[in-house]
Amino acid sequence: MSKEFTALLEKLSIQENLLPEEATFAMKSILNGNASDAEVAAFLMGMRTKGETVVELTAFVEVMREASIVVEVDTKGAVDLCGTGGDKSGTFNISTAAMFVVAGAGVPVLKHGNRSVSSKSGSYDVLEELGAVPNLNKVQSEKMFNETGMVFMFAPNFHPAMKYVMPARRAMKLRTFFNMLGPLLNPADVENQVIGAFSHEAAGMMAQILANLDTKRAYTLNAHDGLDEVTLTGQSEIFELQSHLSNGSVTFDPKSLGYEWVEPEELLGGDAEKNAGIIKNIMKGESTDAQRNIVTLNAAFAIHAAGATDTLEEANRKAVKSVETGEALRKLNQFIKESQKVSKA
């Protein structure tokens, strides 16, 4: 253990915030493999106990972006939609399902995600269960996106230094600041994002970080029921970034777009097999209204964030049409087929 890293742990132990240069040093030490698993765990727990600041998190993101493998594609008009995870809700993979609805509405999708860390089924797990190949490298991802307007970028393939963090995260089994950082590390440096967060505070911090990092347009949000998606069980708090960050969050009610509230149980999923079945049923028009509606609602926010429509109402109509016309199903099938093909190239 270096004296410098030990000194930072000491600071965290007495609830002192890190300076930008200290946060930068700490993250570089971790990503370079210069900190042991025990030190990484101590750092993660120290940050969690103290509470992370926007300054610290911005520095972490900058270091991690520099260390990542870049997917070089045209990101104009494209969007990433994802959640932080860690909301303990047990819902099916809503943003993954919404990906195909967004693509079916003609909006390119550059989705960044991972295997499950704290849930039964992460984006990777459910895509694999659907028959797709989510484990693509840089060249394959670029080819996939250029041919289909969609790609799923598996985080470990683009952030190889994260291998030094995973043992501690798996051992801790707790939400850490990496839940917040993941959605901010899109390998294609996409300019438009919708990010669901596990808390209102986290959503606000992520909006500020994105503003610090010159993101073009984004929604960060947290539902009143704790969901890291726009919910149908009630209202959601939404921060909007569009050239500048809006002052505070806006309370959004799905009834404003004509949706009815539902019970939380109606949005539950399970393991990857169950969630894959739900997604197929949504695309085929055979799901429950609640399952379909929460996907089109979240897709609407992504379509609007991408700049494809002037209003959220218009974006919602596009999302609904994507499912009703079968375009979303077509994009799902295309994604499965092309990812299999590209993975063998």
Identify which of 276, 275, 200, 294 has the alpha carbon closest to the alpha carbon of residue 238.
Answer: 200
Is 113 annotated as contributing to ligand binding?
yes
Is 83 annotated as contributing to ligand binding?
yes
Is 147 annotated as contributing to ligand binding?
no
Tokens 């609904």 appear where?
Answer: 320
Is 116 annotated as contributing to ligand binding?
yes
- C-alpha distances in Å from residue 190, one per residue of 47, 109, 209, 218, 299: 28, 9, 15, 10, 17
Is 95 annotated as contributing to ligand binding?
yes
Is 249 annotated as contributing to ligand binding?
no
Is 68 annotated as contributing to ligand binding?
no
Is 96 annotated as contributing to ligand binding?
yes
Is 91 annotated as contributing to ligand binding?
yes
To which H or E segment does residue 112 belong? strand 109-113
Is 170 annotated as contributing to ligand binding?
no
Is 36 annotated as contributing to ligand binding?
no
Is 169 annotated as contributing to ligand binding?
yes
Is 189 annotated as contributing to ligand binding?
no
Is 33 annotated as contributing to ligand binding?
no
* End-to-end CA gap in the chain: 43
Is 111 annotated as contributing to ligand binding?
yes
Tokens 């494209």 appear where?
Answer: 78
Is 119 annotated as contributing to ligand binding?
yes
Structure tokens at 141: 């991802």
Is 118 annotated as contributing to ligand binding?
yes
Is 115 annotated as contributing to ligand binding?
yes
- How many other CB atoms are found less than 10 A from the CB of residue 317? 17
Taking the C-alpha atoms of residue 153 and residue 124, their distance in angstroms, rounded to an integer, is 9
Is 199 annotated as contributing to ligand binding?
no
Q: Residues annotated as binding site for Mg(2+)?
A: 95, 228-229
Which segments are annotated as binding site for 5-phospho-alpha-D-ribose 1-diphosphate? 83, 86-87, 91, 93-96, 111-119, 123
Residue list for the binding site for anthranilate: 83, 114, 169
- Detail the residues annotated as belonging to a binding site: 83, 86-87, 91, 93-96, 111-119, 123, 169, 228-229
